[in-house]
Structure 1
Amino acid sequence: MRRASIAGLAGSMIEYYDFGSYAFLVVFIGPLFFPEDNSLISILATYGVFAVGYFARPLGALFFGGFGDRRGRRAALLVTVVGMGCATAAMGVLPTHDSIGVAAPILLVLLRLGQGFCAGGEQAGAATLIAESGGGRRHGLFQAFAPAGATLGSATAPAVVGLTTAVLGTDAMAAWGWRIPLLLSVVLTVVVLVLRLRVQESEDFTALAKTDRVARSPLRGTVKVHWRRILAVILLALAVNAPGAVLLNYMNVFLINTVQLPRTTVFWMSAVCIALGTSGYFLGGILTDRFGATRVVVGGLAAVAAVIYPMFLLVQGGRPVGFIGVVYTVALICYSIATTPVYAIATRAFPTRFRYSGVAVGMNIGGALGAGLAPLAAASLVASTGSPQSPALLVVGVALLGVTVALAVSRSAALRGEQSSEAGRP
């Protein structure tokens, strides 16, 4: 179980490092692949490619969910990490618009699609493998490893981009230095691949395969029999991903444009605060094992709803950077605490033969809706209300939605993992 958890953490870390690196390199990549007289148009086009990667994830979830339920979790996870690493490394050697013309942005879009497609099977597969290893001991704690790896990857990306920029300078970064953070993915991919090759197939899937009960059409069976469970997982994933997107993505814009902090300060502070925020995942796991997943989801989301508006207010007014960092870290920890039990609920909601498919589809659709649309919704709220604090209303709304769904889940024996048969019928 420890090997599966560490491999899951490493895989999630490289997934979000790859995605995050692209986001922080947008200012350099935009003019090279989408040359325009207006630099804003170039950046918007490059962010559009960023969104494409997110919305390719549900497609990857459909494919890798079925693949993992038919061929095994380990095999699927080996393919996802190699696919993500190769797509990111290929971006690092991609010719620019000046070299190959319109083919450059087309290839960039295709690579982002491939990256997002492979990422669609990554975290769900890691969570499934962890859930099925070790006989369920300390299920909550070990489920913290996959989301913690994602957040560490999000923290590593700005740190690497910032360090590379500091060493090379802005001119060199714009010319060729932007390729270095992307090519670093090759090293990370090799490390994760070595870790995953040492992990055995999960005990539950091995037992299922020995008795020839592996589903032939797992995706169809999952949707047909367990669509209510998929819907519950989608809503719970939406409820934790939307606050996460506001805290991890919109917060940088808020600190730079509204609080007027220097960009470099925001990048380094974000890296430190996000890294510290990962402690909340493990705290959430410990609490899940002690009090149950539903109570921790409800408590964590209630805490997020309670602190989000005060956080926006407290970081303004010329506050010291250290104070802003502490307030930001507290909000991140509350969000992290609420996230871990969602993984615990999702992996227990489906029987073994449909688990990878159910978790992958539910978590990725909810993640695409939450992480993909929340930053846009936050910006739209600011534009329509004129209040930079208005994204807090969005966070409160989705947090209350999550609390409602979690309470409904608490009344469902099937969604608590109490299936009476391998077919998963309550």
Structure 2
Amino acid sequence: MAEREMEKKRFFKGRRKKFRLKKEDITVVDMDSARRAVLATSVGNAMEWFDFGIYSYLAVTIGKVFFPEMKEGVQLIYAFATFAVAFLARPLGGFVFGMLGDRWGRKRVLATTLILMAVSTLSIGLIPGYESIGSTATVLLLLARLVQGFSTGGEYAGAMTFIAESTPDKKRGVMSSGLEVGTLIGYIAGAGFVTLLTLALGSDTMVRWGWRIPFLVAGPMGLIGYYLRERLEETPAFEAMEEARDRESYLSVRDILASYWRTLLIGMVMVFFYNVVNYTVLSYMPSHLSAVLGYGETRGLLLIVVVMAIMIPIVLLMGYFSDRVGSKRVVQGGLAGLVLLSIPSFLLIGSGKAWWVLLGLVLLGVFSASFQGTMPSLLPSLFYTEVRYGALAITYNISASVFGGTTPLVVSWLINWTGDRLIPAYYLVAVSVIGLMVVTKFVKDPSGKSLRGSPPAVEKKREIKEVLQNPEEALWWQEEKEQRERERE
């Protein structure tokens, strides 16, 4: 045991001086533990995004409950403005939970964020409407949304980090894509539940009290998710780093911003296009179909549920491809597809013919799936182990707050202002062009390789020999880190 700890210290502290990679440096992943980590994290993520997503699927109803004195189009804008408010708290949650995740460990923080989300979502279902307490209802809704945003700030970055650090290098893509399967299942459950309630109760009853039911479900779901996450083991990468480093070596937020600002900016652009596409397809489209195109709330939600169900196997397939051909190539393909086909997709969606509408939505869903299958493994690879949770939380939540969460609000406002129903398509094209340029020029493909700052991780012992034959390839990030250390001094 003492010898093993000395090897870890040698690995993590051997920055300037070149050293031979040894057998003891390589992590052999317990695949049963890795699968449990993927399952528990994905299930927890599904619950988290069920809680967060039901608000967007009830946006039209919430507009009527909390903003009844306004016109219908303006109600939707205000409902999405309240949706966007949660993203103001996400960077703060990212700072707090991200730094705690690099100190306390990934597991403890992920359990905490899940409970916080469940409590805040439950509270929304208990708030009286505008007709009962006037503007106080709006204030309470805003407060609950802020707490939701604070919780989400630590959730997604932590979940990506946890899975990426718990899986073998050659299967990181496909196993990490399970996280986004959880996200889609959460969204499907939320949209499906809202759709069934609307069909069973009718629009008038939904406005009176039925809208509360999905929010009240959050309480028991949160307890189940907390139980699953508490039973997880900490990630091998974090445990190895903890044994090797001194407590004084923790980096502050200022240190991260000073040392990793280039990587932070690259990551923010990646999160920018990732979130704009996701929130357009998964959060904004139901309201676009019902409020802008007049399809009716139930019909719009059913279409989105079908599209998300189709996306699930595609997400896993994209994760599989990322391990074979590289996550960077898959992302580039998705961005190029959006540049070429966003406008045709929205023309199909606006046709009013059910099959053409579905085809347009599926096209957007496929391109969105190309990011969902790759980003959970690609984004954590941008940062070194000692700052991964904190730096990723900062990157993800600042960008998601500024660009992702505001997407439904900005698009709704622009359509209301210009009257042009193709505004979402133009937005996606512009975002994809920017993303394609940044990914092509600045992003290195880490597929099948160790995470920055971590020893190689393999599935089976027989793979160790192959890794040892090409140590420079295994530690591809070593020279980059040495350069970073020289710059810091």
Aligned residues of 1:83 and 1:118 also touching (Cα < 8 A): yes
Aligned residues of 1:4 and 1:126 also touching (Cα < 8 A): no
Aligned-residue offset at 1:152: 2.5
Indicate the SS of the match to 2:250. coil
Aligned residues of 1:301 and 1:335 also touching (Cα < 8 A): no
In structure 1, what is the equivalent of residue 226 of structure 2? 193
Of 308, 320, 330, 2:363 maps to: 330
* CA-to-aligned-CA distance 1:263-304 (integer Å, 9 cap, x gap): 321111111112222333212211110011211111121122
Distance 2:480 2:442 in 1: 20
Distance 2:483 2:178 in 1: 29
1:350 to 1:85, Cα distance in 2 relative to 1, 3 A: same
1:96 to 1:389, Cα distance in 2 relative to 1, 3 A: closer
* CA-to-aligned-CA distance 1:99-145 (integer Å, 9 cap, x gap): 55544322221111111100111111011011111343401111212
In structure 2, what is the equivalent of residue 62 of structure 1? 95
Q: Greater CA deviation, 231-240 or 173-182?
A: 173-182
Indicate the SS of the match to 1:94. coil
Aligned-residue offset at 1:415: 12
Task: Trace 1:93-104 onto structure 2 (pairs within 5 A).
Answer: 93-104=126-137
Q: Determine whether 1:5 maps to 2:63.
A: no
Task: Trace 1:12-411 onto structure 2 (pairs within 5 A).
Answer: 12-36=45-69, 38=71, 43-213=76-246, 215-256=249-290, 259-319=293-353, 321-382=354-415, 386-410=419-443
1:380 to 1:262, Cα distance in 2 relative to 1, 3 A: closer
Distance 1:202 1:225 in 2: 25
Q: Quick one: which amino acid aligns to residue 318 of structure 2? A: G
Aligned-residue offset at 1:184: 0.9
Distance 1:383 1:46 in 2: 14
In structure 1, what is the equivalent of residue 466 of structure 2? none
Distance 1:411 1:287 in 2: 17
Indicate the SS of the match to 1:387. coil
Q: Quick one: which amino acid aligns to residue 400 of structure 1? A: V
What TM-score, normalized by structure 2, do the two folds share?
A: 0.80
Q: Greater CA deviation, 416-425 or 297-306?
A: 416-425
Q: Quick one: which amino acid aligns to residue 223 of structure 1? A: L
In structure 2, what is the equivalent of residue 420 of structure 1? 478
Distance 1:21 1:412 in 2: 35
Indicate the SS of the match to 1:255. helix
1:98 to 1:331, Cα distance in 2 relative to 1, 3 A: closer
Aligned-residue offset at 1:376: 3.7
1:63 to 1:422, Cα distance in 2 relative to 1, 3 A: farther
Q: Greater CA deviation, 348-357 or 166-175?
A: 166-175
Q: Quick one: which amino acid aligns to residue 309 of structure 1? A: I
What TM-score, normalized by structure 1, do the two folds share?
A: 0.91
* CA-to-aligned-CA distance 1:39-72 (integer Å, 9 cap, x gap): 6555544332211112221111111110100100
Q: Size of the alignment, in residue pairs?
A: 425
Q: Quick one: which amino acid aligns to residue 406 of structure 1? A: V
Q: Quick one: which amino acid aligns to residue 347 of structure 1? A: P
Aligned residues of 2:100 and 2:109 also touching (Cα < 8 A): yes
Q: Greater CA deviation, 62-71 or 90-99?
A: 90-99
Q: Quick one: which amino acid aligns to residue 183 of structure 1? A: L
* CA-to-aligned-CA distance 1:364-391 (integer Å, 9 cap, x gap): 2222233223334434554565432232
Distance 1:380 1:180 in 2: 29
Distance 2:403 2:139 in 1: 27
Distance 2:173 2:342 in 1: 25
Distance 1:170 1:384 in 2: 27
1:42 to 1:269, Cα distance in 2 relative to 1, 3 A: closer
Indicate the SS of the match to 1:278. helix
1:104 to 1:374, Cα distance in 2 relative to 1, 3 A: closer
Q: Quick one: which amino acid aligns to residue 302 of structure 1? A: A
1:345 to 1:88, Cα distance in 2 relative to 1, 3 A: same
Q: Greater CA deviation, 383-392 or 62-71?
A: 383-392
Distance 2:176 2:246 in 1: 26
Aligned-residue offset at 1:31: 4.6
Indicate the SS of the match to 1:47. helix
Unaligned segments of structure 1, at least 5 residues: none
Aligned-residue offset at 1:244: 2.2
Distance 1:303 1:130 in 2: 28
Indicate the SS of the match to 1:392. helix
Distance 2:351 2:373 in 1: 34
Aligned-residue offset at 1:204: 1.0
Indicate the SS of the match to 2:401. helix
* CA-to-aligned-CA distance 1:208-252 (integer Å, 9 cap, x gap): 222234543343332121111111110011112212222234433
User: Identity of counterpart residues, as a percentage?
Assistant: 32
Unaligned segments of structure 2, at least 5 residues: 1-33, 453-475, 485-489
Q: Quick one: which amino acid aligns to residue 310 of structure 2? A: L
* CA-to-aligned-CA distance 1:181-218 (integer Å, 9 cap, x gap): 00111222122112212211111111122223454334
Distance 1:97 1:314 in 2: 38
Runs ≥4 in structure 1, deviation > 6 angstroms? 412-416, 421-424
